[in-house]
């Protein structure tokens, strides 16, 4: 009897999980479906789900109008560069906070997080003026630095949480065996924290990929990433939903594929130490 | 032999470097709408003729506004040409942020620009932006539903007629709403509509002393009339409907009438997108007999930010893109219905263009709008659906949010007007008026 209840509960949980998953995924699915409709079908009422004349016309138009590969390449460089740079800076910082904490470590961590509470637009003008002075407007390098700084508190926090799960005695043993600080971090700490570092990298890559405020405000032509590509298809005066959906699908496709292939790593990293 | 090759290589490099130095390139920030996208398609012809390359940065209207404002106020120099509207042009021109468009060639014929457009894009008589296309607002209505209701649309109807016609055309069972109007918060969305409508009811934003006027009966009359009519004959959830939502409803045959931008005429009469393309009529925006109609005036125009390093090239582009020749180029390839409307007098004198069904009504609507004299009572500002002062966008956005809350049934007209009066007075005082 108990076994039946367990099986039933399991089935129920599975159905519930699928329902929630599909609900969350539905807007993305709808965007993808709309991208294959004509503009008239995109606004049809009642909405057309699968019974419409599928067309690739929107993708052809988007491809003809925009240099997709240039936007994509900029996104890869900006998101990848800011994530790698952020991790390089955050690993030693998180190491110090996790293994050599001071009285103020918790305060510093909270202060770092508090910088995320300021609305981005509050510092738009100072940063814009700095970019003009340094010649960084519309450059990928400038955006790599800005996005790295924006995501740095999250990277430090995540790595700090993972590092705290690693027994300090292992690092001590390495030190007693004559490992230098660099060797300790590179050859002892990092291999043990790989799942945590991988999920940090993935999450921050996604955050940087989707970042739309700074990438729209600090770029024009040369460094414009996929967020600018999508913004160019949005219009308050004219129904271009099908084209906008095609552009959106093209913009999210790479990150969707990356997320799909790395989901195990991502989940493992995000739940690291959660059941202790 | 080695020396000879080295010399050849050096000469070749010099040529390449010289060519690169001469290859000019301009960057243009623009909005995503049909006419602007079409222009991007013809840019190669400009490059062929002048050797000037053009880079486009296309953004959504509100994003573009923020982006170009940041750049021009910090003298960022990212753009050589900006697409701006009638609201920004006189303010930015007065601040010295734009290059005056004087010294344009004779063939360009500045005098051909519609006076209402030239006036709205100038400051102290100096033109600061050239209109690429202009628009007003007008009534688009279903001729079949009007006939079914046993009514006939006058060329210049009153609000009372519109209200009665809307009620007669409404058929809730058939999902037909007599009238669709903007209710969405935002100074350029529902805010623009209600401001233009209020002009016809005798209301105004400020008196001659810059005192807010929301405590005057004309504003209460406007809002009460709007809410009553929309409750009776408007679509459900109209508080969140903007241009696109109403366009979608109209194209699907769910609106008897729609009062909005003249540019929508080409969308609702296009059989590829509209199910009612063959049954659309046009009329002037309504009035209440006080001498002002409820239509607005707007233009998307090309301007050169002060501080650009490419002033001459930018001027050359503007002359090309807003010329009579460009209009003919589009007409030749895509037909007269697709040329950018509302900018030049000569377009409306062209017999071919006069055959376009919405041409006359668009011109009449534009001509009946006077941004320098927008209201029944005198006002200290320029602009019909806006007041051309820097503070307006922020204030009007908040006020339109209060109005949208009324449409959504969250507060009364009196409460909204009281809040609008208080917040406008506070902002204006803080701004030093």
A32-43 per-position pLDDT tens digit: 999 999 988 998
- pLDDT tens, position by position, B261-273: 998 998 899 888 8
Assess B188–A contact: CB distance below 8 Å, yes or no.
Answer: yes
Our CA-based measurement puts residue A184 at a distance from the nearest CA of chain B, in whole angstroms, of 46
Determine the structural domain holding residue A230 and report its residue range. Answer: 65-270
Please check the confidence at residue B14 and state whether its pLDDT lies above 80.
Answer: no
Cα distances (angstroms) measured from residue B276 to each of B122, B165, B254, B264, B307:
39, 18, 10, 13, 49
Q: Is A184 part of any domain? A: yes
| Within-domain flag for A58 | no
Rounded average pLDDT over A5-13: 86
Which among A220, A231, A239 has CB closest to B248?
A: A239
Number of separate domains in chain A? 1
Q: How far is A44 from chain B (nearest CA, A)?
A: 7
pLDDT digits (tens, 9 = 90+) for B156-174: 999 999 999 999 999 999 9
Mean pLDDT in residue range B202-212:
97
Average pLDDT over residues A209-233: 94
Closest chain B residue to A126 measured between Cα atoms?
A: B74
- The pLDDT, as a whole number, for residue A117 is 87
Condensed to tens digits (0 to 9), the pLDDT of residues A54-80 reads 999 999 999 999 999 999 999 999 999
Give domain status of residue A16, yes or no: no
Question: What is the structure's pLDDT at B16?
Answer: 44
- 3-state class of B359 per DSSP? helix
Position A86 scores a pLDDT of: 97
> What average pLDDT does this structure show over A191-204?
89
What average pLDDT is seen over chain B? 92
Domain ranges of chain B: 2-135+297-359, 136-296+377-430
Task: Give yes or no for residue A265 having a pLDDT over 80.
Answer: no
Task: Judge: B33–A224 Cβ closer than 8 Å, yes or no.
Answer: no
Identify whether A174 is part of a domain. yes
Model pLDDT, residue B252: 93
Residue A221 placed within a domain = yes
CATH number of B2-135+297-359: 3.40.190.10
Class (C level, CATH) for B136-296+377-430: alpha beta
| Chain segment B181-201, per-residue pLDDT in tens | 999 999 999 999 999 999 999
**Which residues of B are less than 8 Å from A43 in CB distance?**
248, 251-252
CATH topology match: B2-135+297-359 vs B136-296+377-430: yes
The answer to whether A56 touches A32, Cβ cutoff 8 Å, is no
* Average pLDDT in chain A: 90
Residue A276 confidence (pLDDT) above 80: no
Q: How many CB atoms lie within 10 A of CB B44?
A: 11
Residue A122 lies in a domain: yes
Contact across the interface for B70 and A128, Cβ inside 8 Å: yes
Preceding amide of A46 cis, omega within 30: yes
Three-class DSSP category at A186: helix
Question: Given CB atoms, is B298 within the 8 Å cutoff of chain A?
Answer: no
**Alpha-carbon gap, residue B9 to A45, rounded angstroms:** 66
Predicted confidence at residue B7, as pLDDT, reads: 47
The pTM score is 0.85
Distance CA B50, CA B317 (A): 9
Q: Is B76 in Cβ contact with A238 (below 8 Å)? A: no
Position B6 scores a pLDDT of 52
B277 interfacial to chain A (CB closer than 8 Å):
no
Please answer whether residues B51 and B23 qualify as being in contact, where contact means their C-beta atoms are separated by less than 8 angstroms: yes
Q: What digits encode the pLDDT tens for the residues B15-55? A: 444 444 456 899 999 998 888 888 999 999 999 999 999 99
- Would you state the pLDDT for residue B170? 97
CB contact (8 A) between residue B251 and residue A43: yes
Mean pLDDT over B353-358 rounds to 90
How many interface pairs between A and B have CB atoms less than 8 angstroms apart? 94
Residue A231 is part of a domain; what is its CATH number? 1.10.3720.10
């Amino acid at each position: 009897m108990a076994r039946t209840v367990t099986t039933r509960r399991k089935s129920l949980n599975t159905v519930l999980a699928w329902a929630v998953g599909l609900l969350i995924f539905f807007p993305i699915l709808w965007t993808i479906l709309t991208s294959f409709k004509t503009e008239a079908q995109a606004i049809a009422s009642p909405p057309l789900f699968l019974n419409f004349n599928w067309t690739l016309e929107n993708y052809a138009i988007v491809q003809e109008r925009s240099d997709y590969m240039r936007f994509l390449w900029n996104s890869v460089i900006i998101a990848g560069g800011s994530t790698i740079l952020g991790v390089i800076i955050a690993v030693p910082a998180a190491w110090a906070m996790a293994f050599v904490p001071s009285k103020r470590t918790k305060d510093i961590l909270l202060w770092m997080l508090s910088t995320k509470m300021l609305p981005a637009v509050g510092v738009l003008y100072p940063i814009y003026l700095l970019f003009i002075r340094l010649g960084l407007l519309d450059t990928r390098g400038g955006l790599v630095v800005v996005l790295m700084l924006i995501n740095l508190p999250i990277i430090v926090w995540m790595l700090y949480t993972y590092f705290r799960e690693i027994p300090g005695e292992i690092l001590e043993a390495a030190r007693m065996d004559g490992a230098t600080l660099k060797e300790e971090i590179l050859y002892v700490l990092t291999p043990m924290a790989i799942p945590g570092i991988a999920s940090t990298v993935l999450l921050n890559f996604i955050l940087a990929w989707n970042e739309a405020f700074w990438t729209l405000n600090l770029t024009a032509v040369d460094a414009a990433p996929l967020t600018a590509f999508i913004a160019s298809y949005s219009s308050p005066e004219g129904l271009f939903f099908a084209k906008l959906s095609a552009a959106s699908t093209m913009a999210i496709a790479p990150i969707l594929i990356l997320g799909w292939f790395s989901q195990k790593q991502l989940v493992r990293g995000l739940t690291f130490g959660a059941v202790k | 032999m080695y020396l000879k090759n080295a010399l050849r290589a050096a000469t070749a490099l010099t040529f390449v470097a010289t060519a690169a130095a001469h290859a000019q390139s301009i960057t243009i920030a623009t909005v995503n709408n049909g006419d602007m996208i079409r222009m991007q398609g013809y840019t190669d012809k400009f490059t062929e003729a002048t050797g000037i390359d053009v880079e486009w940065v296309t953004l959504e209207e509100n994003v573009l506004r923020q982006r170009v404002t940041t750049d021009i106020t910090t003298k960022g120099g990212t753009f050589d040409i900006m697409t701006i509207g009638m609201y920004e042009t006189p303010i930015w021109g007065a601040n010295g942020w734009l290059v005056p468009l004087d010294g344009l060639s004779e063939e360009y014929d500045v005098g051909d620009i519609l006076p209402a457009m030239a006036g709205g894009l100038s400051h102290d008589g100096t033109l600061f932006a050239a209109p690429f296309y202009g628009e007003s607002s007008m009534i688009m209505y279903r001729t079949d539903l009007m006939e079914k209701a046993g009514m006939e649309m006058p060329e210049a109807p009153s609000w009372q007629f519109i209200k009665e016609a809307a009620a007669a055309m409404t058929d809730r069972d058939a999902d037909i709403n007599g009238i669709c109007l903007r209710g969405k918060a935002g100074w350029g969305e529902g805010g623009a509509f209600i401001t233009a409508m209020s002009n016809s009811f005798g209301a105004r934003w400020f008196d001659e002393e810059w005192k807010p006027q929301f405590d005057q009966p004309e504003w209460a009359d406007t809002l009460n009339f709007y809410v009553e009519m929309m409750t009776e004959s408007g679509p459900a959830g109209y508080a969140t409907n903007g241009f696109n939502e109403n366009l979608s409803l109209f194209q699907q045959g769910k609106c008897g009438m729609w009062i909005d931008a003249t540019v929508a005429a080409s969308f609702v009469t296009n059989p590829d997108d509209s199910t009612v393309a063959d049954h659309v009529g046009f009329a002037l925006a309504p009035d209440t007999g006080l001498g002002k109609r409820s239509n607005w005036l707007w233009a998307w125009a090309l301007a050169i930010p002060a501080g650009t390093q490419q002033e001459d090239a930018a001027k050359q582009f503007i002359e090309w893109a807003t010329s009579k020749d460009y209009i003919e180029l589009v007409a030749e390839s895509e037909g007269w219905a697709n040329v950018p409307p509302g900018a030049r007098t000569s377009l409306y004198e062209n017999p071919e263009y006069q055959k376009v069904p919405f041409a006359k009504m668009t011109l009449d609507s534009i001509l009946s709008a006077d941004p320098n004299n927008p209201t029944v009572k005198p006002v200290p500002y320029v602009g019909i659906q806006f007041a051309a002062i820097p503070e307006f966008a922020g204030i009007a956005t908040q006020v339109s949010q209060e109005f949208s809350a009324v449409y959504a049934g969250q507060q009364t007209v009196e409460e909204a007007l009281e809040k609008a009066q208080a917040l406008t007075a506070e902002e204006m005082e803080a701004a030093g008026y």
